[in-house]
Amino acid sequence: MGPAIFERPHRGSWCLMLIATLLLGCGDATPFPAERSVVDLGGRPVDPLASTPRATVLVFTTPACPIANRYAPEITRLHERFASDGVRFWLVYADPADDAAAVATHHAAYEFPFAAVRDPEHVLVERTGATVTPEVAVFDPHGRMLYRGRIDDRFVAFGRTRPTPTKRDLEDVLDAIVHDRPITARTTEAIGCFIP
């Protein structure tokens, strides 16, 4: 049995997704080796993209990243705003060095109101092309990645921070999705801690 991620119900859209990621220029078109897996906090394999009501947001994070941590309240706020519109949030712990216990502690400490997965083998990292934390990737129900990049423009560079963001990229994308406005897939550069 292969990992759950291959048993996706939207096989038909696989090609489209590949095109999308190729357009983004960051995708990894090669099939995942069988032994790699994404696991939930109990260690069970899980595919966050297996079922997407309206959109799925992957939020890449690492417990040791202060920039990612500072976004916990903002992510929580966005979850509160969009969860009832069928937007599903997943926290993706991307540092293989963080074991299940460390991740569970962090998840509880920041009171994230949605589920988390560990991506020790960088399955999702490679699929999305995420390089830092915090970085988000938004998928549609067909598994197409519509957006990957920063949450907002609060962090301009290391040590250069706006007091408040002037552009809320993630919120704008989700807003368009839930209001059925057409969107073009795009990426932005996220500022944060490189995923080890």
Partner 1 sequence: MLHPVNVLTPIALAAACTTTPLRDDVTFNRDIAPIVFAHCAVCHRPGESAPFSLLTYDDVRRRARQIGIVTRQRYMPPWLPDPAVSDFAGVRRLSDDELDRIATWIANGTPEGDPADLPPPPQWTEGWQLGEPDLIVTAPEAFTVPADGVDVFRNLVIPLPVSTTRFVRAVELRPGNPAVVHHAIMQVDRTGSVRRLDTAEPGPGFAGMGMGRSEPPDGHFLGWTPGKLPRPGRDDIAWRLDPGTDLVLQLHMLPTGKPETIRPSIGFFFADRPPARRPFVITLRNDLIDIPAGAEAHVVRDRFTLPVDVEVLGVYPHAHYLGRELKAFATMPGGERAWIIHIPAWNFDWQDEYQFARPLRLPAGATIEIEYTYDNSAGNVRNPSHPPRRVRFGNQSSDEMATLALQVLTETEADRATLAAADERKTSTGLIAYARRHLEDAPDSAIAYELIGTAERTLGRPEQAIAAFQRAVELRPDFVDALINLGNVLGESNRHSEAIAVLRRALTHEPDAPDIHANLGVALGAVGRPEEAMASLRHALQLEPNHVGALYNLGSTLAATGRSAEAVAVLERVIALQPDHIDALNNLGVSLAASGREEAALQAYRRAIEFAPDRVVGHFNLGNGLLAAGNPGDAVRSFRDAVRVDPGHARAHASLGLALRQTGKLASAIDAMMRAAELAPTDAVIHHELGRTLLASRRASEARETLERAVERQPNNVAMRNDLAIAAMLTGDLDAAGRTLEAALALDPDATDTHGNLGLVRAQQDRPGDSITHYRRALEREPDRLACLRGLAWILATSSETRWRDPAEALALAQRAAELTRFGNPAIMDTLAAALAANGDFDRAVQAAEHAATIATRAGNRPLAEIIETRLTSYRKGRPHREP
Q: Which residues bind partner 1 (CB under 8 A)?
A: 64-66, 68-74, 97, 109-111, 156-164, 166, 193-194, 196
Minimum separation from the CB atom of position 77 to partner 1 (A)? 8
Which among 194, 54, 38 is positioned nearest to 131, based on CA atoms? Answer: 194
Q: Is the N-terminal amide bond of 48 cis, ω within 30° of 0?
A: no
In this complex, which beta carbon is closest to partner 1, that of residue 140 or of residue 169? 169
In this complex, which beta carbon is closest to partner 1, that of residue 77 or of residue 142? 77
Minimum separation from the CB atom of position 119 to partner 1 (A)? 16
In this complex, which beta carbon is closest to partner 1, that of residue 31 or of residue 66? 66
Q: Show Cβ contacts of residue 176 under 8 Å, excluding neighbours closer than 6 positions.
A: 182, 183
Minimum separation from the CB atom of position 138 to partner 1 (A)? 21
In this complex, which beta carbon is closest to partner 1, that of residue 44 or of residue 167? 167
Percent helix, strand, coil in the chain, to 5, is 30, 20, 45
Let me know if 148 is exposed, middle or buried by CB neighbors in 10 A (0-12, 13-18, 19+): buried
Minimum separation from the CB atom of position 180 to partner 1 (A)? 30
Cα distance between residue 183 and residue 177, in whole Å: 8
